[in-house]
Structure 1
Amino acid sequence: MKAPARKSAATRQPRENSRETLLDATSALMRELDTVEVGIVDIAARAGVNHAMIRYFFGSKEGLMFALLDRDVEKRIRQLDRLFALDVTPTERMRIHLRGIMDTYYEIPYLNRLIQRMVREADPVRVEHVAEELLKPIAQAQHRIIEEGVKAGEFRPIDPKLFYFNTIGSADGLYANRFTLSAVFGDVPHFDPQLHARYRDQTVDTLMRGLLV
């Protein structure tokens, strides 16, 4: 009797790889199409898996979006500990922080739109998680730097909440409005390192000028 054929290496590949591939595919489509409205069939096709795998790993499309947001933001949250471990002045710490936020929105141009969608449409438990675990740590870190700067005589007293919105609005402004900006100024590409570097430097300088004594 002929022994059954062994499964190929591809068949034996851990399914966890498919989970990451789905997250990568979702992220890539959002960047390329400049929208968070991507379909599960398109996501699965990009990932090279059956769309039923989305339900298997994430329960639903909302679960997939939530997992992507978690992955995108948690890496940046971990960087905050390293930021406060640096032996630098509040001014330099804020510059590093602002540059990091600008880089984040360059790398993840759909981030703010994804956050807004999750806050509007997700269940209350997930909304609370987004607020408490993903958004507040960044806002609180910025508030802490401002307080340190005011105490050191480097910053003038300002409203931390408004400065946070100044920061996020500036960081989100270029890449979240690519189509609108292209209509006014010509083509605005997805990933142009030189354009990003110029925009980041000018934006950080502008924000800091409003903060420094």
Structure 2
Amino acid sequence: MAGAKAADPERRDSRTILFDATAALLSERSTIEVSLSEIAQRSGLNSALIKYYFGSKEGLLLALLERVAERAMADLAHLVGLDIPAEQKLRIHIGGIINTYYRSPYVNRLINYMIVRSDKASSERVAQIFVEPMIAAYRAIVDQGVAEGAFRPLDPGMLYYSVVGACEHIFYASYSLPTTLGLSELTEEVRQQYARHVSDLVFHGVLAHPAREA
């Protein structure tokens, strides 16, 4: 038992190093194509450790998504349970999605990759940890908003696609920043500005009685 406890911190450290190296590589590119040798070089660890801890590169990518999902979905579940208006929940949620993509711009690309190109078990796991909780949360927020008279009747699935797509694209298309915004990289100021912008766009379509210009 003592030997197992002594080895555990080293195991966690190696896993974290591999997670961080993989996340950094994925954040630097607009695809999820990353090789075992690149991960090994960035992490400073032997690529054999990836197979030892995760079984394969796909296993590492799935574990990385699980780590992101644990935090993001816990925050979302807490938000849905708050005793606040649905409009406020949706605004907070939009800011939360953009914060997640700002920290981990590869997330949505990796989700899509794992669902479409990975094996059935991994695909089902990604749907379980990300898609299902998100749709459940959207359904709860929309139902609350309609009951409060704040939202018009909406399809939660359609709203999910609209919100997630809008929030994610600026991170997916970061290569276009010099042309669109005259920037070389996303900054904290731009992140905040984009969160406000997406919220304004969404709420013009969500609210039961959108505010009219004078």
**Deviations 1:24-52, CA, capped at 9 Å, x for gaps:** 10001111233311111111111111111
Amino acid in structure 1 at the alignment position of 2:140: R
CA distance in 2, matches of 1:95, 1:16: 36
Which segments of 5 or more consecutive residues in structure 2 lack a partner in the other structure? 1-6, 209-214
**Deviations 1:122-165, CA, capped at 9 Å, x for gaps:** 11111111112321101210111011100110101122211111
Q: Residues 78-97 of structure 1: matches in 2 within 5 Å?
A: 78-97=74-93
Paired residue for 1:29, among 10, 25, 47? 25
CA distance in 1, matches of 2:91, 2:182: 30
Do the aligned residues in 2 keep the contact of 1:94 with 1:145 (CA within 8 Å)?
Answer: yes
Matched, 1:192 2:191: no
Amino acid in structure 2 at the alignment position of 1:59: G
Give % identity. 37
Paired residue for 1:17, among 8, 13, 20? 13
TM-score for the superposition, normalised by structure 1? 0.88
Amino acid in structure 2 at the alignment position of 1:195: V
- Return 98-107 or 162-171, whichever deviates more: 98-107
TM-score for the superposition, normalised by structure 2? 0.88
**Deviations 1:163-201, CA, capped at 9 Å, x for gaps:** 111001101110101113434544441x41011110111
CA distance in 1, matches of 2:157, 2:9: 47
The number of equivalent residue pairs is: 202
Matched, 1:68 2:103: no
Match of 1:50 in 2: 46
Match of 2:164 in 1: 168
- Return 131-140 or 64-73, whichever deviates more: 131-140
CA distance in 1, matches of 2:13, 2:191: 31
Shift of 1:16: 2.1
Runs of 4+ residues deviating >3 angstroms: 180-188
Shift of 1:13: 6.4
Question: Which of these two proteins has the greater Rg computed from alpha carbons?
Answer: 1
Which segments of 5 or more consecutive residues in structure 1 lack a partner in the other structure? 1-10
Amino acid in structure 2 at the alignment position of 1:51: S
Q: Do the aligned partners of residues 12 and 148 (structure 1) sit closer, same or farther apart at CA in structure 2, a change above 3 Å counting?
A: closer
